[in-house]
Structure 1
């Protein structure tokens, strides 16, 4: 949970299912921005989708095949990718890992 709207302790926040082999934690948000930690098991696929949000993502660990607007790259820990609004994009997890996604504005659909 966010304490005082400023801090989140890893152990105080539960993972929620986000797809087969995928779970996530919303780590902070206001109306303009949201950060989400997304954990993938090897072989899990973040289906190709689009949304009106701008998205910037950091590969914290693992290896992923990221596809944006039909172009694909293999990304590893330390790499990043940026998704303009309304572009189709998806992720295939090649080695178990974690992505840190930042959205603007917030993804209201991620809130309970």
Structure 2
């Protein structure tokens, strides 16, 4: 999770609990970009929120109902989505899984915890 670290190994990094049934691992970042793995248990909810960062996300595993700017889609392993800055968005986990989120610029708030 250290800025400038070249490699990330899952078993050498702890998961941070960030909500009921949701945890994350920051896999790497610099000042311009950050990649984060977010693990969801079935039924957990990433509540609707917004931020000034651009976000691109990939469904690495599972099934999710993703809502962006009031429109919802069901996405499964191999799918992805893109969120422009300041758009309201959220996720409902329908089948346990993992999202891989990329943010630009870095989410400083993720580094504070």
Question: TM-score, structure 1 length as denominator?
Answer: 0.96
Structure 1 alignment gaps of length 5 or more: none
Question: TM-score, structure 2 length as denominator?
Answer: 0.96
Number of residue pairs matched by the alignment = 112
For residues 1-112 of structure 1, the aligned pairs below 5 Å read 1=1, 5-112=5-112
Instruction: Tell me if structure 1 keeps the 8 A contact 2:4–2:28.
Output: no
Output the CA distance in 1 between the equivalents of 2:12 and 2:3: 10
Deviations 1:24-80 (A, max 9, x none): 000000000000000000000000000000000000000000000000000000000
Relative to its length, the structure with more strand (as a share) is: 1
Q: In the TM superposition, what is the alpha-carbon distance from 1:6 to its structure 2 partner?
A: 0.4
Please tell me the root mean square deviation across aligned C-alpha atoms, in Å.
Answer: 1.3
4+ long deviations beyond 2 Å: 1-4
Q: In the TM superposition, what is the alpha-carbon distance from 1:5 to its structure 2 partner?
A: 1.4
Instruction: Tell me if structure 2 keeps the 8 A contact 1:49–1:89.
Output: yes
Output the CA distance in 2 between the equivalents of 1:93 and 1:4: 32
Structure 2 alignment gaps of length 5 or more: none
Output the CA distance in 1 between the equivalents of 2:42 and 2:84: 26
SS of the residue 2:101 aligns to: strand
